């Protein structure tokens, strides 16, 4: 049983909103904040429908002041900086011995920097990006990759189990973010190949259902194939994680690879393909919208 009684959650998007609800459902005293008041009002209504008690605040500092653990799930490095170090950021009022857990996908550099600052301030730290998307958050089935100390992961694990199916301690501060970069690189590469495979099958006039059945039971099988083959062939691209966010994540991955002196040509190529989709108006498509860059004929770009 966790010793944590009171938690704060900063960021009530498609992930943070459901995660906050799971914390309340698990019996924690939950305080929450969102920079957009409209989104906060939306979740206020949702939680009321579910008889969940979540106290909403007007700024991050007030949200964090009584919390044993402060969770963050916002957009990018600059957003984390704002809610942590900015005016009325959580560092202004976090209590002695509290813990900061960042579920945002950020650069590993920021994670290591914040970990050092937390140590200097007497706080525990975890960088803990998540995978599983909106459905995983809603169903409490997220996978979390964590960077930080053994003591920190032991402290946070019983609380994060409210919304996670898998929690893996990857290594020291920054390791969680680096593992998430590897995750996004894998997804990008798979979707690049899957997009071309779908277009080949379409261009050749194959029965798409039979083609999927023929290849999905072997070495080509993947989550993306199982969950996106049919939606990609139907030109449906409204299944959560947007291309705008994927490009942000791939940017962090490419920056980290360069810092380490590594080459990532496939990731760089798919990132450029996503830029083409953005330029064509598809920035809010889910990541499988990569296929829209390719002609439906057998003549590729």
d(C-alpha 8, C-alpha 64), whole Å: 6
Burial class (CB in 10 A: 0-12, 13-18, 19+), 48: exposed
Alpha helix (H) residue ranges in the chain: 16-25, 37-49, 60-64, 77-85, 108-121, 133-138, 150-160, 175-203, 208-216, 223-233, 243-259, 265-279
Q: Which of 5, 46, 76, 180 is catalytic?
A: 180
Q: What distance in Å separates the CA atoms of residue 37 and residue 299, rounded to the nearest whole number?
A: 48
Q: Are 63 and 57 in contact (CB under 8 A)?
A: yes
User: Is 180 marked active-site?
Assistant: yes
Phi and psi for 130 in degrees, rounded to 5?
A: -120, 160
Residues labelled as active-site residues = 180
């Amino acid at each position: 049983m966790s010793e944590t009684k009171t938690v704060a959650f900063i960021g009530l998007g498609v992930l943070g909103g459901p995660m906050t609800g799971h914390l309340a459902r698990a019996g924690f005293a939950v305080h929450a904040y969102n920079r957009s008041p409209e989104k906060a009002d939306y979740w206020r209504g949702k939680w009321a429908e579910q008889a969940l008690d979540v106290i909403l605040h007007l700024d991050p500092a007030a949200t964090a002041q009584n919390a044993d653990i402060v969770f963050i799930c916002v957009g990018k490095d600059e957003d984390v900086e704002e809610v942590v170090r900015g005016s009325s950021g959580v560092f202004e009022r976090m209590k002695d011995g509290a813990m900061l857990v960042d579920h945002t996908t950020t650069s590993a550099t920021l994670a290591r920097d914040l970990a050092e600052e937390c140590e200097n301030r007497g706080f525990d730290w975890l960088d803990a990006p998540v995978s599983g998307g909106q459905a995983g958050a809603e169903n409490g089935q997220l996978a979390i990759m964590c960077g930080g100390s053994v003591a920190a992961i032991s402290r946070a694990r019983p609380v994060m189990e409210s919304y996670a199916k898998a929690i893996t301690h990857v290594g020291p501060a920054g390791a969680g973010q680096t593992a998430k970069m590897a995750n996004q690189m894998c997804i990008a590469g798979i979707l690049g190949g899957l997009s071309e495979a779908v277009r080949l099958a379409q261009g050749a006039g194959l029965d798409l259902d039979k083609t999927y059945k023929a290849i999905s039971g072997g070495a080509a099988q993947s989550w993306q194939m199982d969950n996106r083959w049919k939606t990609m062939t139907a030109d449906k691209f409204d299944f959560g994680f947007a291309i705008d966010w994927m490009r942000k994540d791939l940017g962090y991955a490419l920056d980290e690879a360069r810092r380490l002196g590594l080459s990532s040509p496939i990731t760089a190529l798919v990132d450029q393909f996503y830029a083409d989709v953005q330029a064509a108006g598809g920035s809010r498509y889910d990541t499988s919208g990569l296929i829209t860059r390719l002609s439906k004929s057998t003549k590729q770009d």
